Every structure is written in structure tokens, then in C-alpha cells.
Amino acid sequence: MRDEIVMRQIAARSRRGQLCGVIVGVASLATVAAGAVGAAPGGGVALEGAARLGPFCARLAALKQGARDTVRIVHWGDSHVAAAWLPDGLRRLWQRRFGDGGPGLVLVGEPWRSYKHGGVRLSAQGAWRAERPWSRYGRGRLRPRDAFFGVAGLSVHAPDVARAGVEITGEAVDRVTLAYLLQPGGGVLELWSEGRRLGRWPTEAAAKVSAEVTLALPRPARQLELRTQGGEVRLFGVDLTRAAGGLVYDGLGINGARADGLLQWDEAQLGAQLAQLAPALLIFAYGSNELDARNLTREGFAQGFSTALARLRTLAGGAARSSCLVLGITDQARRGPDRHWHEPELLPALIEEQRRTAAAAGCAFWDQRAAMGGPGAVFRWAKADPPLAMRDYLHLTLPGYQRLGEQLFAALLEGCAAE
């Protein structure tokens, strides 16, 4: 709940124009690494284990040389990713350099009030609701009804007649994949564009089974609408891409999420959707919410984090099909009983466990805390002009996420060049 309130505050500040816009270009790796963007504290931090990114780097190089390929990055995380500023900025940087492969995976039907995706504008009509492993579901029900959450860790459903509009803000797309649930009492799902119905799919079935359908559109489209009727329809996302290929960046963050929450998702469904998305790089970015867990131990964190990462790695096809990157927890603070702000006691230990787990899983590692400037950086970022961190000393501002994203982008490109 705390994350959702903060994210709504961030979105409101952005709408009022109190924060500067996202810088979507990087002049050169040298200027980014040297901190030429803004006057922020901190500096360039290299990837650890960059050689483990071989498959991803090879596909990037082929794409740059003109290969007709969709190279996808999938970035899982908590509210740092859910705020959209970090993945949206990274998407722009990657697509400017390697070509626009499309907005990628979009959650329709307003999964939460402040949900944004930089590649589209969304609208919704009807009683859309979202379900995820760690939220309330209504009167008398404290747990989700099943484990079908898809690759985003969330399902969106409409009980009967509803609409969800998607307007692509960039180049038109010509390929659409719908991920949905077949279930008893399921309604009908339709896809429309510019007044034409492109497809109709009944979702009624004897048992719950996840399903996907991919359409090659008769002509490129910027306006799409999903319509439901005749019973509940559950969706796990709409993937918007271009047959010509390019870079696709999916930011799949959920407020309040923890790494081990992934273990509650249906494994077969997650594997099937990952097979369809075929990511070249998996980015795993959790840990902030774990710091607030009761009875947290280093060993307990390590077990949950490593088990979740291993499952994701296996379901994505292993090292032969994709590379992976673990992002260390950002610098942050909590208010103590003395009403002063302090570094969470286990923060350094959990970052070390993330570093160790990444190496054991064959993933690269990037230390976000070091990139911010090390211990205490969040206080300096909050005092910067413009502020780079919120006064909750946990979340960043738009310029702060911009700064962090530019450093990550530079580190990945440098890592691929060294590899």
C-alpha cells in the first residue's frame, strides 16, 4: 500500500510539471560514465560478470548489423520498475540505438490506478479488476483463486461487458499477441481496430487453461481495442510488436513485489508465455520490499531469491537461449524508533547475497547502490537540485530514475563491447 500511495504521488507531481522530462538520448558511453547528464553524485559502475551476457550481446550485434530479429529485454521488479520511469527511459535508449521493435507487453484495463506504459496511451470502460499474489481481492477472500498470473505476475479481468483501448504513440504495430485464460463460464474476447473486428475468441472451457493467440494484422495499426462480453474474461497482457524486428523492452514491475512471489505463479503458464516472448535478456530487480519483511534473515532472503531466479532462468530456456542480469538493491533508508533515518541493517548483506546468487546462476550483476554513490547516497540524491530521490529515502524521482537508467544502459553496452 505504501508503494502504491507513493507512486500516485509521483505520477501527480509529474503531471504538474514539477519534475523534468526524460532525456532519451545518450551522447556517448564516455559522457554517461563520467556523469555528464546532470550534476548527480555517483559515477559509472561496470557490470560484474559481463562475459555471462554472451547470447544477448551476440543478438544485439546482429541486430545492429541489420538482422531481422526481435531482441527482447524483460525487466521484473518492484515499485522501482512499476513506476514506469526507469523502464520507459531504458526502452527509449535501447530503441533509439537498435531500432523500435514495438511497445512490447502491455497490461490493459487499468491494472492499478497509476499504471503507465511509455509506448502507449490506455483507456478502459467497465469493471476491470486486477489480481496478483500479494493483494486484497474483496470481501471474504484474502487469497487469489488460483495461480494464473502470467509472465507479469498479474491478471486483469472484466466480469462481462467491458472495453480496453490501446493507442500506440510511436510507429504502428503489425503483430499482436493476446494472452488470456480459458475457464468455466468464460466470456468472449474480441480485438478491434479502426472500426473493424480483427478476431473473436470464446474463452469458455471445462477447465482453466492459459491460451495465447498471435495475429499478423492486415495493415499496421496505432489504435486497438479489446472488447469482452458474455461472461468473465481474464487477460495476462497484450504484446505489441513489429514483424520487421528491433528492440523490445518489457518493464514488469508490481508495487510491493518480492522475488519469491514469483514462486506462486503457475509454472507451466509462465514457461509457455516466456517461450512466446523469447527474451534475450532477463533482468531481475527485487529486494526493497524484502527489507521490510518481518523476521528477515540473510539466509531466508538468499533461499527465496535464488530459488525464484533459478526457476525463471530454467523456464526461459537456460543460458543457451537467454542471458540474465541481477540488479542489486538501491541505496535506501528507513526511519527508526528514534525517528531518525538509518540504513537498513541487512542491506549490505542482501546485496552481497544478490551478487553471489547472480554468479551461481550464470548471471551478470550490477550494483545499483554503488552506481548511486555508495552508502548514504540516497540522502545526497534527495538533496540534489533537482531532487533525484524522494523524501521517503526509498523511491527515486523521474530525474533519479533517468540517471540510474542511463548508467545501466551504458554499463550494458560497455559490458557487451568488452565481451
Average pLDDT of the segment spanning 39-49 = 69
Confidence tier at 133 by pLDDT (50, 70, 90):
confident
pLDDT over 90 (residue 323): yes
The pLDDT value recorded for residue 145 is 85
Pairing mode of beta strands 162-168, 246-253:
unpaired
Q: How many domains are contained in the chain?
A: 2
Q: CA–CA separation, 104 vs 176, rounded Å?
A: 9
Cell numbers placing 308: 525464484
Q: What is the largest CA-CA distance in the chain?
A: 64
Contact 373, 380 (CB under 8 A): yes
**Among the three residues 204, 219, 243, which one is the final residue of a domain in this structure?**
243
pLDDT over 70 (residue 35): no
Tens digits of per-residue pLDDT, 243-270?
999 999 999 999 999 999 999 999 999 9
pLDDT over 60 (residue 118): yes
Confidence tier at 319 by pLDDT (50, 70, 90):
confident
Give the domain extent around 302.
1-100+246-419
Contact 101, 172 (CB under 8 A): no
Q: CATH number of the domain at 137, please.
A: 2.60.120.1360
Tell me, yes or no, whether 19 and 65 share the same domain: yes
The pLDDT value recorded for residue 113 is 86
Tell me, yes or no, whether 123 and 208 share the same domain: yes
Percent of the chain at pLDDT exceeding 70:
87
- Cβ of 394: how many Cβ atoms within 10 Å? 23
**Among the three residues 218, 243, 268, which one is the final residue of a domain in this structure?**
243
The pLDDT value recorded for residue 100 is 96
From residue 56, give the alpha-carbon distance in Å to each of 70, 203, 278, 325.
Answer: 12, 36, 12, 11
Tens digits of per-residue pLDDT, 75-87?
999 999 998 999 9
Cell numbers placing 224: 486497438
